[in-house]
Structure 1
Amino acid sequence: MVRRDRRALIESTELLESEPVYTLRSRVVKRKAIEGAPEAQRRRLSSTDKESCNRSVEKVAVGKRKASTDGKQNRVKKRRLAVKDTKQKTRQEVSIDVLRAEFEAKYEQQDQLGKGGCGRVFAGYRREDNLPVAIKRIPEDKVLKHVDDAGRQLSIEVAIMLRLQEETSGSAGAPVLLLDWYDLGQELILVHERPVPSEDLLSYIQGNGGFLPEDEAKIILKQLVDAAIKLQDHRIFHRDIKLENILIETDLEVPRVRLIDFGLSRFVKKGGSYRHFCGTSSHCPPEWKGRGKYKAGPTTVWQMGVVLFETLHDFVIFKTTNFMDETLTICDMLSEECQDFLQACLMEDPDQRPTLKQISLHPWLN
């Protein structure tokens, strides 16, 4: 047993001792080759091992330096971007604070006048001259955006009112003037002129017993049709003309009509139609219910009919579905021309409905 262990130990020792022999022989052969070569060649041969080793070391070192440099550059870049974002946010916050301070310094907000699907409206006045104003505050998620010809992104309501004020200011049916607007990030503030005394058409009708006589309704509707034609000429679709969005100036011998609330309006593309209805759902045109789409012109004519219907009928709330199933009918006590005007505006088929210019020439209005 001892002999076997000794034999195994001897074989193991011989095996271990044999390994450096091969290494030694290879070195001896290489050394002889170097010694037998010319001087220049000997230098090259002797330096081969060192050069290859050095090159490997250099590659590793360069790789480490490059990786280290790239990592450092990425960190610096991230820090710069973070600083830039912070500066931008800070500038935006400062800008919003400046705008808010400017608004508060220029205007005084008072009691709430009304509330709708797109925001709230408050009474107020301009501090420098006590000019009455209406202050409309719209949450950011209710603001519809538009890019104007100069590439500016504006609220669609601001863009449309700026377009209209250039040519329609002071005329009957013209929208109230937009005096200022402030984009405060979380909300948009619009400041309009507020004619005093004035009230919306719904309040005006209720204050006059729940309906108006034909002659007075005719004066109001003629101005309204003229205003709608001007919008159409500017390729503007209001989309929500109703009693609450018609302002009546009451300090004149003849009531003066002013359109308000262009928050749902659109610039119309020629021949364009709409599939998503925006406005008062109970007033939607029948073609949207039947075909799933509607156009600006025929819908505006339909809205003229709805406004006149609610103006002439005692405390009646118009609903398209009720009118279509004839549970809501035109009063036969009205003049024949007035009834004919209403029937024309409220034609079920939009292709059979007259245009705005055609109803402006209707005998009842002239």
Structure 2
Amino acid sequence: MGVRSEEKKCGGVLHGKYEFGRLLGYGTFAKVYLARNVRTGRNSAMKVVDKEKVIRAGMMEQMKREISVMRMVHHPNVVELHEVMASKSKIYLAMEFVRGGELFARASRGPMREDSARNYFQQLISAVDFCHSRGVYHRDLKPENLLLDVEGNLKVADFGLSALSDHLRQDGLLHTACGTPAYVAPEVIGRKGYDGAKADVWSCGVILFVLLAGYLPFHDTNVISMYRKIHRGDFKCPPWLSPESRRLITRMLDPNPSTRISTEQIMDSSWFNKSAPRKKTMATAKEYPPEFESNETETLNAFHIISLSEGFDLSPLFEEKKMEREELRFATTMPANSVVSKIEEVAKTKDFAVKKTETCVRLVRAESGRKERLEIAVDIFTVAPSFLVVEVKICVGDTVEYSQFCRKHLRPALKDVVWSSATAGGVESEN
């Protein structure tokens, strides 16, 4: 049943309370509409979630977690959840309508002046520190998830990948790897357990670097090279950054979480305190003028990350790249020798000769195909302990023959060693 059908049941107004306007954004599981409370006149961003799709994807617990977190966290710099409603087929989340767009749009225009970047950063750390005090860890902090209101105030949004202190295992750590590649902490990649607060601090450090430098600290067109840089904390600040901002960023982007600076220490730093954050009261969402059909847009980042693999998923099974030479790539936490053994097994059943080392496998078909003898290279890269990236590519031969081999034989043979999208997207239970 659609939104309009639900409205008709209530005389044109959802639950006798909300009138729907234009569509603001959408994802696989939900749509976001501009909605007006007919009793108060307040505008909201109404997220309409399809229950059946969420249940079918096994994400109902994640949905409940997001709602629980947003109910817990009331802070001027966090998008407010006004109300949750439900019908047989839909879940409705009436949220604060933030009209100023994403911080990403502002950051993409180039480096900011330090006072402007500091203002946004102060608000971000204030919100993140408050969340941590409530046992909430965001785990996907990035400029796309930081919204700005019409006055330029920052609002943290999209808690779809967040975790609660209840999700800590007996070692006191979180273990589900999630986030967005360029902003994720090295210990999250390593998958050996991590402190959610320290992981959020790393992401905040990347955000501060982006605001001041105008580009990402660990950006690389090769994802393997990027993760190696993250694991080493290998970055360089541009020359226009002040010594104080450099010191703070370096302490936040410390690859060792045990020595990485905390939010409390950030707020005590000299750079952070050069100008005090503007005081704000714990007010309800700002009442905006009745511009009910304005043109601002709001994206549904959390659902895009989960459903479209925009987050920390290198690929749900394989990532296929349309390049000059065909490539497949997947991530795994299995030992390299296990991956090699699986590849060797399937290769021998299809008349490939196998040449192997610890980090490389070469498959050579005994007989020539449509063009010439097919040769395939499989390279194994250690990005971090217990985290490998495997690249499969054609060296010589027919690409159609190569694609058929990968699709019909290699994929099924490796399905048990590939790091699944459920784990990578943060859907996996922490317990």
* TM norm structure 1: 0.61
- Deviation string 1:29-85 (CA, Å, 9 cap, x unpaired) is xxxxxxxxxxxxxxxxxxxxxxxxxxxxxxxxxxxxxxxxxxxxxxxxxxxxxxxxx
Deviation, 1:317, is: 7.9
Cα distance change on mapping 1:262 and 1:99 into 2, 3 Å: farther
| Matching residue of 1:157 | 66
Structure 2: tracts of 5 or more residues without a match: 220-225, 274-431
Give the counterpart letter for 1:304 in structure 2. C
> Does residue 303 of the first structure (1) align with residue 203 of the second (2)?
yes
Alignment of 1:135-284 (within 5 A): 135-140=46-51, 141=54, 143-145=59-61, 155-165=64-74, 168=75, 171=76, 173=77, 175-195=78-98, 197-206=99-108, 209-251=109-151, 255-269=152-166, 272-284=172-184
Cα distance change on mapping 1:287 and 1:259 into 2, 3 Å: same
Superposition CA RMSD, Å = 3.0
| Matching residue of 1:127 | 38
Aligned residues of 2:182 and 2:216 also touching (Cα < 8 A): no
Give the counterpart letter for 1:228 in structure 2. V
Give the counterpart letter for 1:248 in structure 2. L
Structure 1: tracts of 5 or more residues without a match: 1-95, 147-153
Deviation, 1:232, is: 1.0
Q: Identity of aligned pairs, percent? A: 25
Instruction: State how far apart, in whole Å, the 2-side matches of 1:204 and 1:144 are.
Output: 34
Q: Which has the higher helix share?
A: 1
Q: What's the secondary structure of 1:138's corresponding residue?
A: strand
**How many equivalent pairs are there?**
252
Deviation, 1:290, is: 2.8
Greater shift, 315-324 or 294-303, is seen at 315-324
Instruction: State how far apart, in whole Å, the 2-side matches of 1:118 and 1:223 are.
Output: 30
Higher relative CO (Cα under 8 Å, sequence separation at least 6) belongs to 2
Aligned residues of 2:206 and 2:217 also touching (Cα < 8 A): no
Cα distance change on mapping 1:190 and 1:224 into 2, 3 Å: same
Instruction: State how far apart, in whole Å, the 1-side matches of 2:172 and 2:233 are.
Output: 31
Aligned structure 1 segments of 4 or more residues deviating by more than 6 angstroms: 96-100
Give the counterpart letter for 2:138 in structure 1. H
Which of 267, 287, 290 pairs up with 2:187?
287
* TM norm structure 2: 0.52
> Does residue 107 of the first structure (1) align with residue 23 of the second (2)?
no
Cα distance change on mapping 1:178 and 1:290 into 2, 3 Å: closer
| Matching residue of 1:48 | none
Instruction: State how far apart, in whole Å, the 2-side matches of 1:316 and 1:112 are.
Output: 32
Structure exhibiting the larger radius of gyration computed from Cα positions: 1
Aligned residues of 1:322 and 1:328 also touching (Cα < 8 A): no
